[in-house]
Structure 1
Amino acid sequence: MDSHGQVEQRGVWGVVDSDIGPLLLAATREGLVSVVFHATDAVRDRAVERLASRLGAEPVEAPGSPLLADAIRQVAAYLAGGRRDFDLPLDWSLTSGFNREVLRELASGVPYGTVVGYGDLARRVGQPGAAQAVGMAMGANPLPVVVPCHRVVESGGGIGGFGGGMETKRKLLALEGVLPEPLF
């Protein structure tokens, strides 16, 4: 097998600089598999190690790879306010069961500029009492931004938690016009 084929076998990753900090994006032949916030060197190294253990081989840095280039372009355009939807193949292999079901519903059913409550999302997947489990699924989302867990909020009007940090969640919701721009 040629070296390019081996790269695709293991997966590839690259970092996008943005207003919400550097994001690590990783992809396999199936599609985008991981998005990691605050991808400083230490965070990036840990993320690549975690991906290696989950994918069975260490992914290689190859932001120009055809597997990743479109995802990097689309995420950068979204974060610059020039794109509302993602048209990317997704590799769901890092999530399963209830979490995968909830994340797929979120990806397909909660459009740009809208929000959904944890309990509402639980009801949409036929588990009306599972609001807390939905919160856990959001925290375990391997594809934040693209699978928009920032759009899930508390029913009482609270913003809810967020793996990328509250400031990042506020910035993403402001970008989509759901919240006013943060003052600081």
Structure 2
Amino acid sequence: MQRYEIVCVDDEVELLSLYEIELESIGSKIVTFSNPEKALEYIKENSTKIAFVVSDYKMPEMNGLEFRRRMVEADILTPFAMITGYYNKEMAVEAMELRVLKFIQKPFDSEELLKLLNTEGKKYVQALDEEYEMIKSFVEESFPMIEEIEELILILEEEPGNINALNTYFRLLHTIKGTASCVGLKTLPEFTHKYE
């Protein structure tokens, strides 16, 4: 988990320092935020390098469940645990819907949190690594097709009616577009759509 980050969000700055000390042994960089809005911004921009998010429940700007809901709405399903002094049945039901892995009682037990990071965090990191390898392979395999598409564009500029070149162009473009969707690249299919 060393090349991944753990994001901790709590409006109490002294607790953020405690997270950094207690979670240091996990080997990941600990990124802390006292403002959940800023944390959301950071998470959206860096979601592929975040292995786990830990959030306080009670914060002035929004509560931990609202924070998690905003992550889920942004299609960020990074493993998530919530630190709270109190929770009830309604909170537990909402937390299940939002895929909150666990409520951890305040004052938090670092051993409990470390155990969660070592199980769920590592599983998520393994999935991220597999996704990265799949995307890397896709990009490597796409280069020859992209080069061929570039050549076809030049041919079509000189011979706009060349049906063979046009068919090959669209076949390659659809192959790249379809495979990009399969490996989870969301913006590439939109980008290739412009070339159709």
Does TM, scored on the shorter chain, surpass 0.5?
A: no
TM superposition score normalised by structure 1: 0.28
Q: Larger relative CO (CA 8 A, sep 6+): 1 or 2?
A: 1
Whose radius of gyration is greater, 1 or 2?
Answer: 2
In proportion to residue count, which structure has more helix? Answer: 2
